[in-house]
Amino acid sequence: MALLGIFLMIFLVIHLGINLCLLRSDGGEWFNAAAHFMGTNYIVKVFEVVLFGGFILHILIGILLQIQNWLSRPVRYKVKNRSYTPFLSKYMIYTGAIVLIFLILHFMNFYFIKLGWVSNPHITEGEPDFYLIARDLFLQPLYSFLYIVLIIILGFHLNHAFQAAWQTLGVNHPRYNNFISWFGTIYAILIPIGFIIIPVYFLFIR
């Protein structure tokens, strides 16, 4: 769970790097080139399989562990627990479930188009123009609003996930704990901000 999570967190940085190409005023040249590279490079294609495997395993293990956790307390307390815990840590399964919904929507809007499972007007000569697809989506205020909300929830998920992953992997040392905690928080703020800049750019700045 932790290893897969860290792998997915590294992937998010790469994904953000590609998405930020949308901000260039080049008619999507860089973005489409990056998308083309990601879609055709053989090394990337191998990683794509690993990535999907990682997503699926992370989700399945997460659900399985949660079911075990629910079963481990068949009779609930009548008074709500008041023990001190980081707020977001208690809701990982719920923020994770929302991220999963986002992931499905995201696949329908992009990856399934690439596979030809979903039709889109921006497909010419078999190659989808992902820049135009993304631009059209981000120009819809409702989609952009939903995107921003879901990305913020992804940030909530990441905030706990980062430091929890290292704890699970056995990395806990007084010398590094503060760094891990701060780095995780900064990561969980900067990554969502990076993704949110894009719909804001298309809606208000461009």
Per-residue interface string for the shown chain with another protein, residues 30-69, x marking contact by CB under 8 A: -----------------------------------x--xx
Q: Does 170 bind another protein (CB under 8 A)?
A: yes
Q: In angstroms, give the least distance from the CB of 60 to another protein.
A: 14
Binding another protein (rule: CB under 8 A), the pick from 151, 157, 160, 199 is: 160
Dig out the tokens for 184 from the structure: 């995780």
The whole-angstrom separation of Cα 27 and Cα 146 is 25
Contact yes or no for 36/114 (Cβ under 8 A): no
The stretch near another protein (CB under 8 A) out of 7-15, 125-133, 161-169, 186-194 is 161-169
Q: In angstroms, give the least distance from the CB of 16 to another protein.
A: 25
Q: How far is CA 150 from CA 23, 72, 96, 154, 203, in A?
A: 20, 30, 11, 6, 17
Contact yes or no for 63/70 (Cβ under 8 A): no
Q: In angstroms, give the least distance from the CB of 93 to another protein.
A: 8
Which positions from 68 through 107 interact with another protein, judged by CB under 8 A?
68-69, 71-86, 89-90, 92
- Our CB check for another protein shows the closer of 115 and 171 to be 171
Q: How far is CA 161 from CA 39, 57, 90, 158, 176, in A?
A: 29, 16, 11, 5, 17
CA of residue 183 relative to chain centroid, distance:
18
Q: Measuring CA to CA, which residue among 159, 188, 179, 169 is closest to residue 87?
A: 159
Characterise 204 by phi-psi region: left (phi > 0), alpha (psi -120 to 50), beta (else): alpha
Binding another protein (rule: CB under 8 A), the pick from 116, 172, 190, 206 is: 172
Binding another protein (rule: CB under 8 A), the pick from 101, 169, 186, 189 is: 169
Which residues in this chain contact another protein in the complex, by CB under 8 A? 65, 68-69, 71-86, 89-90, 92, 160, 163-164, 167-174
